[in-house]
Amino acid sequence: MNKYLRLYVGIGVLFCVLVCSIGCESAPKKRPVYQASVWENPEWENPEIFQINRENPKATFYSFPSITEALEDKNWQASDFYKSLNGTWQFYYTDSVQSRPEDFYKNDFSLKGWDTITVPSNWELQGFGLPIYSNIKYAFPKNPPYIPHHMNNVGSYKRSFNLHKNWDEKEVYLHFAGVSGAMYVYINGEFVGYNEGSKTPAEFNITEFITSGENQIAVQVLRWSDASYIEDQDFWRISGIERDVYLRAENPASIKDIKLNGDLSNNYTQGEFSLTVDLKNTSKSDGNKRIHVELLNGDTQVFSKDKALKIHSGEEKSIAFQTSIPNVKPWTAETPNLYTVLIALKDENGKVEQATTLKTGFRNITIKNSQFLVNGKPILLKGVNLHDHDESKGHVVDEALTLKDLTIMKQNNINAIRCSHYPKNTFFYGLCDQYGFYVIDEANIETHGMGTTNQGLDKKPELKKVHPAYREDWKQAHLDRTMRMFERDKNHPSIVTWSLGNEAGNGDNFFATYDWLKANDSTRPTQYEGATKYENTDIQAPMYDRIPQLIKYAENNPKRPLILCEYSHAMGNSLGNFKDYWHVIRKYDVLQGGFIWDWVDQGLVAETEDGRKYWGYGGDFSAGHLHHDANFCLNGIVNPDRTAHPGLEELKKVYQNIHFSEADFKSGEVKITNEYFFTNLNHFKIDWELFKAGKKVASGSLGVLDITPETSKKVKLDLPELDYSENEYALNFSAVTHKKLPLLSKGFPLAKAQFISGKYSPKFKENSKEIISVSATENDIVFKSKAVTASFNKDSGELSSLDYGNGNIILKGITPNFWRATTDNDFGFNMPKHFGIWKKATENSALVSMVLKDEKSTYDIASIKEINKKGNSIQLLASYKLPDYIATLQIAYQIDASGQITVKTQLLDVKKDLPNMPRFGTNFIVNKDLDNVNWYGRGPLENYQDRKTSQFVGNYKASVSELYYPYIRPQENGYRTDIRWVTFTDAKGQGIKITGPKFLSFSAHHQYNSDFDAGDTKQQRHTIDIVERDLVNINIDNAQMGVGGDTSWWTRPLEQYQIKAQNQSFSYRIIPIQ
């Protein structure tokens, strides 16, 4: 072989090696496949086995080696007694029990080919398995307590860890804050324990399993189990280790649990402090110890006590402390005053062995005379329901997101949170203590798929025989979940009520959990929606009772305070008649508020192939073939990223605690009411502004007023002299924080009001003395003057062209409009079926005649061959027949030589017994250039006739695209009501103005109305399906019915916010803007 050939061969071999090397690196790793033996009688199909070797539940507190460190008030990660196991784990996912790695927990088990996963997380959002959203129906065949093995997904986790060197003589515990699924735990190849119950901690003593060197932990989680039957909440069914995992170390003699309470006496001025510390000695020798306790108000010590005790080997002992604190600062959601409780365990020489701090607040919760009282006051609970939800991480919610939620809530006058439908992360309660929220803590129990008390279960005895709430073999599981919630959270002052669960029947097991809570906590009431007709609830806590039901309860000798556990279902474009709810709640003492369903849309971030992001819902993420409840997870008043729905502003207005009434424009007097129960209005600054026809003409400040809680005061403004005869005035009030308050900066607006007085006089264009002529072409009737050329199609009667000297602006002429794109609430009562005749009427009106009129004569367009007519103003009357002869419609156009066009729409001869109309209005489409919108009416946000109290009458500007609100499932949006006038202009300021003799409503989009309409049934549509078109689609209406919101499954808007099918008319004028 010559040298050149050898060189070529060498290069070729090297090339092949490189290619092979690169190819091997990029080739997918081979994933192992396992075949497990048949799993006989598993724990996860036995309701009487919900834990093995799990430690008893205890209160949340974190231990530190010194008092100094404990007083720094940091979390567990700052202490040497803890070691985080969060982070990257080896992971193997399989769709079924049969294909799980059975021996994965063994130390010598090969993990070659396994994936990795981040802990905490839900594995379905990490690319393993499918996220399923279901409201009620189980994701598996209903047959409690059994789960089909072939469809039970399994996640196997494994990682190694090393212990801290100073842990050699300590007891070591493995702590899982929350695991969604049935969990088996192994250390170094040995079985440690088992747990069910996803939202409260599972802790195991692993001291005997660990070594001083490297250790292995293995966890196997089954997606479904018997526990899934009682965790049937309305949320994403996603799995895995979803909260923190850590190790913690304890000295052999240590503090095991803490129970504290801050009550009030002496007319709520004296604090009654009580503390019980539980200790345990696991060492082989007795110990002489000292417990040191301090109560601190900031840095000021208000109580200090040391107690000595001897604790024998293997002994558990409790030691109690009590004292009274005069002139205590009470805790409420308005005034979240907290005291620090320091507890230190010392040896007999005074050396600190363990120190911890907790926060406590002094408050008194009682029910008296059928009222729920906090510190003696019948507070109003202005609440929301809160699910754990992160738009990317699912049920993995961190402290930063929780703080963001609480901040937005405070900014919108929300003072109460129901933990729907399970206990939250521990830091949630600490933040509620600190910043002030009334919390209903709810046990992780919902058995909706098996039937619920107030939804027919009481009449189905056969179902009760298999229902977990009624069966003895499920009783301990119910008690376990209740006890774990209570023991973990018992020390938080923000928790004012316990809830037994949600939609889970009301058998003996709920009487047992109620009795247990009453026996173990005399400081708080207990509630349960399923017990509204039974005795095992202290609060009447119905869901979705409508206004007549509330009135009936309040007026018929009520025995319990009524607080709606769920109401105002905020799905999509909703929250209608919210002010009507609160008008009634404020009227009756026994009605004390409620919790909106719910806070956040449970949408998950999805992405198209070309990189466009949107929020997906049930049936997305390749799970459309499985049972799902579509977008019923989108019930929030904020989006998944916590941006606001338009309805949030309405909630804020209705929930506000400062009210303005009896405004007298002549005397300048206004009444200001303080609805706070513990806060003087001297925390706020009150300003006012006076507007004339949308333009500010005066303003002033009332400054800081001394108005005590639950009182009112009349104050006087320095208003200028007003002319009411031809002018409309708006007097606006705002209340902003005068000082920094919890989660609120100084100057933050919390309350507002508007009063309208005078008379609005629309300004129409005076007709010129010029002449307008009328002629005919083959297809059109043409009106022409120096100011305007307007054409009407002979076949349709529609305005086909409108030219004010700069070209035609009309793309589609004026047509009647009785329909709206169906909202989620509309689908709830099946509007396409019940009101569908009006959609048919919108789409299928037929022209009957076209008539020309002037002062002297009338001409039927169909009967004359030529038109040659002139005048100062000419009327064209188009008459239409609506389908099925339900009515006739006339649209009359008065075309003036000035270019002004008056449009009058009349609905006549309306057939009897027709359903109500979604809307009565008109629609037309203009050039996209008319993109700038200016209106005088309610704004700036979207509003409807039953959701407009927060949107004040004013002069507003926006682009057409800014009028659109992108609900996650496209539907009716972007409406504005009580419009005096609206203009649509191009970049040069040229366009049209629309005004009427009475108030109008309008919307405008770069889409057709039909773009937002799913049709007769809901479709799997998203914001990415809404495409911007080269047009401006305008709706000018007499009215659109309210959006409703009592429920999203059968109720319609309140009767006063619907539109009767009857003879009616409205008019407006189109005026050129040159």
Q: What is the CATH number of the domain that holds 576?
A: 3.20.20.80
Percent of the chain predicted with pLDDT > 90: 92
For residue 300, tell me if it sits in a domain.
no
Indicate whether 966 and 1067 sit together in one domain: yes
Indicate whether 49 and 189 sit together in one domain: yes
Q: Annotated catalytic, 566?
A: yes
Output the DSSP codes for 304-326.
Answer: EEEEEEEE-TT-EEEEEEEEEET
Q: What is the CATH number of the domain that holds 681?
A: 2.60.40.10
Q: What is the CATH number of the domain that holds 207?
A: 2.60.120.260
Output the DSSP codes for 969-984.
Answer: S--S---EEEEEEEEE
Picking from 758, 787, 817, the residue at the C-terminal end of a domain is 758
Tokens found for residue 144: 């409690």
* pLDDT of 700 higher than 80: yes
* pLDDT of 866 higher than 90: no
* pLDDT of 21 higher than 50: no
Q: Which of 124, 231, 442, 566 is catalytic?
A: 566
Q: How confident is the model at residue 148 (pLDDT cuts 50, 70, 90)?
A: very high
CA distances from 842 to 581, 637, 662, 883, 1065 (A): 33, 31, 43, 9, 16
Indicate whether 564 and 701 sit together in one domain: no
For residue 315, tell me if it sits in a domain.
no
Angle between helices 426-435 and 399-411 (to 10 degrees): 30
Task: Report the pLDDT value the prediction gives residue 26, as an integer from 0 to 100.
Answer: 52
Q: How confident is the model at residue 27 (pLDDT cuts 50, 70, 90)?
A: low
Indicate whether 695 and 559 sit together in one domain: no
For residue 319, tell me if it sits in a domain.
no
Q: What is the mean pLDDT of residues 927-948?
A: 98
Residue 151 phi, psi dihedral angles, 5° rounding: -120, 15
> What sign for the dihedral angle of Cα 648, 651, 655, 660?
positive
Q: What is the DSSP letter of 539?
A: B
pLDDT tens-place string over residues 871-924: 889 999 999 999 999 999 999 999 999 999 999 999 999 999 999 999 999 999
Q: Interior CA angle at 98 toward 95 and 99, to 5°?
A: 60
For residue 268, tell me if it sits in a domain.
no
**Which residue range(s) make up the domain with 10?**
1-30
Most trustworthy range by pLDDT among 347-351, 770-774, 945-949: 945-949
CA 574/CA 944 separation, integer angstroms? 10
Task: Report the pLDDT value the prediction gives residue 697, as an integer from 0 to 100.
Answer: 96
Q: Annotated catalytic, 203?
A: no
Task: Report the pLDDT value the prediction gives residue 2, as an integer from 0 to 100.
Answer: 44
For residue 359, tell me if it sits in a domain.
no
Indicate whether 541 and 448 sit together in one domain: yes
pLDDT tens-place string over residues 270-281: 999 999 999 999
Top-confidence residue, 868 or 668: 668
pLDDT tens-place string over residues 716-732: 999 999 988 889 999 99
Q: How confident is the model at residue 856 (pLDDT cuts 50, 70, 90)?
A: confident
Q: Which of 45, 171, 503, 798 is catalytic?
A: 503
For residue 765, tell me if it sits in a domain.
no
* pLDDT of 228 higher than 50: yes
CA 1005/CA 313 separation, integer angstroms? 77
Of 529, 418, 491, 579, nearest in space to 1045 by CA: 579
Neighbours of 830 (CB within 10 A): 15
For residue 779, tell me if it sits in a domain.
yes
Task: Report the pLDDT value the prediction gives residue 1043, as an integer from 0 to 100.
Answer: 98
Tokens found for residue 807: 């070209």
Indicate whether 709 and 782 sit together in one domain: no
CB 1000 within 8 A of CB 1068: yes
CB 193 within 8 A of CB 54: yes
CA 35/CA 672 separation, integer angstroms? 73
pLDDT tens-place string over residues 591-610: 999 999 999 999 999 999 99
Number of domains making up the chain? 5
Indicate whether 984 and 939 sit together in one domain: yes
Q: What is the mean pLDDT of residues 846-857?
A: 88
Of 634, 599, 598, nearest in space to 616 by CA: 634
CA 589/CA 306 separation, integer angstroms? 46
**Helical (H) or strand (E) element with 834:** helix 831-834
pLDDT tens-place string over residues 160-180: 999 988 898 899 999 999 999
Indicate whether 897 and 1017 sit together in one domain: yes
Of 644, 628, 197, 198, nearest in space to 384 by CA: 644
Q: How confident is the model at residue 953 (pLDDT cuts 50, 70, 90)?
A: very high
Task: Report the pLDDT value the prediction gives residue 1056, as an integer from 0 to 100.
Answer: 97
Task: Report the pLDDT value the prediction gives residue 28, as an integer from 0 to 100.
Answer: 66
Q: What is the mean pLDDT of residues 62-80?
A: 93
* pLDDT of 739 higher than 90: yes
Indicate whether 128 and 176 sit together in one domain: yes
Indicate whether 724 and 779 sit together in one domain: no
Indicate whether 586 and 475 sit together in one domain: yes
Picking from 732, 758, 784, the residue at the C-terminal end of a domain is 758
For residue 723, tell me if it sits in a domain.
yes
pLDDT tens-place string over residues 637-667: 999 999 999 999 999 999 999 999 999 999 9
pLDDT tens-place string over residues 324-345: 999 999 999 999 999 999 999 9
Find tokens 């108000």 and name the residue. 297
Indicate whether 754 and 815 sit together in one domain: no
Percent of the chain predicted with pLDDT > 70: 97
Q: Interior CA angle at 614 toward 608 and 619, to 5°?
A: 80
Picking from 726, 758, 790, the residue at the C-terminal end of a domain is 758
* pLDDT of 9 higher than 60: no
